[in-house]
């Protein structure tokens, strides 16, 4: 059911020529172009410590030093904002201690910012930081969630005994208790969803300049300029009109560039005080210590089944590490994601309790999928565990419990409404493509060679492409090109191509005759940015709606100019013509007409989603393990997805591939490690492993689409899906190999060679 929009699919993205030829413009490029001064953040080397500065005046007087900002200098400004709150249990409340822009006398994690230095050069700023004498008083720290909740644990915030940030519940606990009381079998798993670091290609940065009017202009990499303008202005108690935010090219975001960080208001204040351009560019080590991390949950899940393997109830307890502060969307990630815990299954009794926990670590926030990968990981690992315990084949157990297409729209026990989906269809297809039937023979052949083979899969569903409307504005320019203005923000996804395709489909002109403007708060009054796979389902729907309206206006304008009936007008190849005649005006000629007022050559639209979209699919994975070393090698990877209608298939496949690679990285390689004192031991690529090309097999991708009924384009968001189905598929395959060979029924991510080797050795017969 791939949806075509009237134009041949582009062979290349419109964005790529500039990027491939070095013509892209990123924050560091903008800083170099204006000869900006250099800013450097002084960060805490301790996870928990009191501190005081001993020689600030001397450092400020050093040659080349222009400004040193501390918490005292930022007095009177607001705290870092919180973008979401969550429902809490009973009379409890969500404890938000208000994170200062700079730590004021107490540092609460390694990397906590304590001073912001601006100097002529980066070397001068670093030298000033080295010269800064700081009296440190180290205090006890706690980095482990369970240890943080124990009696007598060091307090991250003394005002909040027990380090609990919040407790939130979803579902009906009484109904779950009743379901479990009647169950023939209960299956239980305890899962650690390991902390990961985003590691986008381009680290964060900000260039701050003062315009002639006195307004401060920030150029920064983001996932939405308007959100950051509003947040920074609020922190500084500035009017929005006092601040302009521009986002140029962005080298990856994955959620982390969606929200504000302390360097942005600090740069704005410094620029206003100095009156000269300055730039802070993050280095990779800082990224590990200061940018928000992702995941980091400990979950206990129980599934109640009847004698025939039908799912009766699901009970889940999750500890979610918040780090030392509540980051922008931090509390919402585990609570919002928990609503997807029932997955693709007909589970009528459901209850989850999520407890947010403070620790002396980097704050945790949205990372590709933002809670939905964590939920899919729990339910799909749990279903595989149930298959092992019941002796029912994993695919058969799923078939017995899938929500059938006839039940759509389906209201889950967690409060979601799925509009569409044929889950057995894509699972069956994925197993067929992956040759699941031939796996036993391959497993036996591997055993003969001394290797362990495993086959695993995961059938996922996620919620995305919802939320607030994203207005889109289209205008016919004097040169005959179409200009789109929209508040979403590309960070590598290919918005120029996708939006141009949608507009060109309705306006009938070549793709390269459409330009897309994003990232400048002066171009649009407001926008909600990119996150939650909403740019095409929400922003794309608005572009298509505005294009339809503009097409109608241009037909009417052409009819007036050519003295014809609007019903006879056609848009063809960048112009308007009277059907069946040679009477034609190009778009440039149309725009030059005296009657072509702005209102007649422009249109806007905004789509407000009535509900999220629910992409779903099956990932199937076959692995081979070398028992002598514990090394896991992925041999086959197949994904069959349901994304509703498809606009640009090549870009869709690229999105899925990127998400799968990130999921494989978390499943097999990536591990953020803190020691007991809160020291970050994996703060560089020397210690933190990202997937390389040799770790990734050929990825087979295809779609089996069912049109979304709640989206005008029929699409379902796709940006995060690859990262949602991949972790459980890979780990189910690893555990399948270990279970069949040595009876090992559990392993947490990442399944590194050391972890697999240790599990195999522990399972060796005495």
Q: So where are the chain's domains?
A: 27-139+199-290, 297-465+611-762, 467-605
The token pair that represents 103 in the structure block = 């730590």
Does residue 2 register a pLDDT over 70?
A: no
Residues 752 and 398 sit within 8 Å (Cβ to Cβ) = no
Does residue 494 register a pLDDT over 60?
A: yes
- Element (H or E) spanning 632, and its range? strand 631-642
**Where do we find the tokens 């009936």?**
565
Q: How far apart are CA 100 and CA 78, in angstroms?
A: 7
Does residue 175 register a pLDDT over 90?
A: yes
Average pLDDT of the residues in 224-228: 96
Average pLDDT of the residues in 612-632: 98
* pLDDT one-digit tens code per residue, 230-261: 999 999 999 999 999 999 999 999 999 999 99
Q: How far apart are CA 324 and CA 363, in angstroms?
A: 6
Chain-centroid distance, C-alpha 441: 39
Check residue 91 and give its pLDDT.
66
Chain-centroid distance, C-alpha 285: 21
* pLDDT one-digit tens code per residue, 631-686: 999 999 999 999 999 999 999 999 999 999 999 999 999 999 999 999 999 999 99
Check residue 6 and give its pLDDT.
37
Mean residue pLDDT across the chain = 95
Does residue 3 register a pLDDT over 90?
A: no
Spatial CA neighbour of 673 closest among 688, 691, 690: 688
Spatial CA neighbour of 264 closest among 250, 283, 244, 248: 244
pTM for the whole structure: 0.96
Q: How far apart are CA 606 and CA 525, in angstroms?
A: 13
263 HSE (CA, 13 A, CB side) = 31
* pLDDT one-digit tens code per residue, 431-466: 999 999 999 999 999 999 999 999 999 999 999 999
Check residue 11 and give its pLDDT.
53
Check residue 89 and give its pLDDT.
82
CA torsion through residues 148, 151, 156, 160, sign: positive
Rg (CA), the chain: 27
Which backbone phi and psi does 715 adopt, to 5 degrees? Answer: -90, 160
Does residue 200 register a pLDDT over 80?
A: yes
Average pLDDT of the residues in 714-727: 96
Which backbone phi and psi does 566 adopt, to 5 degrees? Answer: -55, -30
Question: CA geometry: angle at 179 spanning 731 and 746, to 5°?
Answer: 20
Which backbone phi and psi does 757 adopt, to 5 degrees? Answer: -60, -45
Q: How far apart are CA 191 and CA 374, in angstroms?
A: 10
Average pLDDT of the residues in 44-56: 98
Does residue 294 register a pLDDT over 80?
A: yes
Strand pairing category for 37-43 and 278-281: parallel
Q: With bands split at pLDDT 50, 70 and 90, how would you rate the model's confidence at 88?
A: confident
Residues 598 and 589 sit within 8 Å (Cβ to Cβ) = no
Q: With bands split at pLDDT 50, 70 and 90, how would you rate the model's confidence at 134?
A: very high
CB neighbour list of residue 490: distance below 8 Å, 6 or more residues apart: 15, 250, 496, 518, 530, 535
What would the CATH number be for the domain defined by 27-139+199-290? 3.90.1170.50
Omega before 409 cis (within 30°)? yes
* pLDDT one-digit tens code per residue, 301-350: 999 999 999 999 999 999 999 999 999 999 999 999 999 999 999 999 99
Domain 467-605 listed as CATH 1.10.357.10: no
Average pLDDT of the residues in 481-498: 94
Spatial CA neighbour of 334 closest among 362, 361, 374, 304: 374
Distance spanning both ends of the chain, measured CA to CA:
57
Average pLDDT of the residues in 592-612: 95
Q: How far apart are CA 689 and CA 586, in angstroms?
A: 55
Domain 297-465+611-762 -> CATH class: alpha beta
Q: How far apart are CA 231 and CA 468, in angstroms?
A: 17
Check residue 95 and give its pLDDT.
85
Q: Are the folds of 297-465+611-762 and 467-605 the same? A: yes
């Amino acid at each position: 059911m791939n949806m075509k929009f009237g134009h041949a699919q582009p062979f290349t993205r419109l964005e790529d020529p500039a990027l491939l030829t070095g013509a892209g413009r990123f924050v560091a490029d903008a800083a170099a172009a204006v000869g900006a001064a250099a800013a450097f953040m002084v960060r805490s080397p301790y996870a928990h410590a009191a501190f005081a500065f001993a020689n600030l005046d001397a450092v400020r007087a050093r040659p080349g030093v222009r400004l040193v900002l501390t918490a005292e200098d930022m007095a009177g400004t607001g705290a870092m904002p919180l973008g979401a709150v969550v429902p809490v249990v009973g009379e409890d409340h969500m404890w938000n201690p208000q994170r200062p822009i700079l730590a004021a006398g107490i540092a609460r994690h390694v990397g906590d910012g304590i001073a912001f230095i601006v100097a002529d050069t980066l070397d001068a700023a670093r030298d000033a930081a080295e010269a800064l004498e700081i009296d440190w008083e180290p205090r006890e720290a706690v980095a482990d969630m369970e240890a943080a909740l124990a009696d007598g644990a060091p307090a991250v915030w003394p005002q909040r005994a027990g380090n609990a940030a919040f407790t939130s519940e979803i579902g009906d606990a009484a109904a779950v208790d009743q379901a479990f009381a009647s169950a023939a079998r209960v299956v239980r798993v305890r899962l650690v969803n390991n902390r990961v670091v985003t590691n986008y290609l381009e680290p964060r940065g900000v260039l701050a300049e003062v315009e002639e009017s006195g307004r401060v202009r920030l150029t920064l990499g983001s996932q939405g300029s308007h959100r950051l303008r509003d947040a920074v202005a609020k922190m500084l108690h500035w009017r929005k009109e006092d601040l302009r935010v521009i986002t140029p090219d962005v080298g990856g975001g994955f959620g982390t560039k969606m929200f504000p960080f302390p360097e942005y208001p600090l740069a704005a204040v410094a620029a206003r005080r100095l009156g000269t351009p300055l730039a802070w560019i993050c280095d990779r080590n800082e990224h590990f210590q200061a940018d928000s991390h992702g995941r980091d949950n400990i979950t206990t899940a129980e599934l109640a089944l009847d004698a025939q393997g039908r799912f009766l109830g699901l009970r889940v307890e999750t500890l979610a590490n918040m780090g030392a502060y509540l980051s922008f969307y931090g509390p919402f990630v585990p609570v919002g994601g928990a609503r997807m815990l029932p997955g693709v299954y007909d589970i009528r009794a459901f209850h989850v309790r999520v407890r947010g926990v403070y620790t002396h670590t980097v704050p945790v926030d949205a990372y590709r999928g933002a809670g939905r990968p964590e939920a899919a990981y729990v339910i799909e690992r749990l279903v595989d565990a149930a298959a092992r315990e019941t002796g029912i084949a994993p695919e058969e157990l799923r078939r017995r419990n899938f929500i059938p297409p006839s039940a759509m729209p389906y209201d889950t026990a967690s409060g979601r409404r799925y509009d569409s989906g044929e889950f057995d269809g894509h699972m069956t297809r994925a197993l067929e493509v992956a040759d699941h039937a031939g796996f036993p023979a391959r497993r036996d052949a591997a055993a003969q060679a001394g290797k362990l083979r495993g086959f695993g899969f995961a059938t996922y569903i996620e919620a995305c492409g919802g939320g607030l409307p994203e207005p889109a504005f289209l205008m016919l320019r004097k040169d005959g090109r179409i200009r789109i203005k929209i508040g979403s923000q590309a960070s590598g996804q290919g918005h120029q191509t996708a939006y141009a395709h949608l507009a060109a489909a309705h306006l009938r002109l070549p793709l390269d005759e459409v330009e897309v403007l994003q990232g400048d708060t002066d171009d649009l009054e407001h926008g909600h940015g990119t996150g939650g796979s909403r740019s095409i389902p929400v922003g794309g729907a608005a572009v298509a709606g505005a294009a339809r309206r503009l097409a109608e206006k241009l037909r009417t304008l052409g009819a007036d100019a050519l003295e014809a009936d609007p019903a006879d007008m056609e848009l063809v190849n960048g112009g308007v013509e009277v059907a069946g005649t040679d009477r034609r005006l190009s778009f440039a000629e149309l725009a030059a007409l005296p009657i072509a007022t702005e209102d007649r050559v422009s249109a806007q639209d905004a789509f407000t989603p009535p509900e999220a979209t629910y992409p779903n699919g099956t990932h199937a994975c076959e692995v081979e393990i070398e028992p002598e070393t514990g090394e896991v090698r992925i041999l086959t990877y197949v994904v069959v997805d349901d994304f509703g209608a498809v606009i640009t298939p090549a870009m869709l496949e690229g999105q899925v591939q990127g998400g799968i690679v990130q999921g494989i990285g978390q499943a097999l390689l990536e591990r953020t490690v803190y020691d007991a004192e809160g020291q970050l031991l994996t703060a560089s690529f020397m210690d933190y492993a990202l997937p390389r090309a040799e770790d990734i097999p050929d990825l087979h991708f295809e779609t089996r689409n069912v049109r979304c009924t709640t989206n005008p384009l029929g699409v379902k968001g796709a940006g995060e899906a690859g990262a949602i189905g991949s972790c459980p598929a890979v780990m189910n395959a690893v555990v399948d190999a270990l279970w069949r060979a040595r009876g090992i029924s559990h392993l947490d991510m990442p399944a590194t060679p050391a972890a697999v080797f240790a599990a195999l050795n522990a399972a060796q017969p005495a």
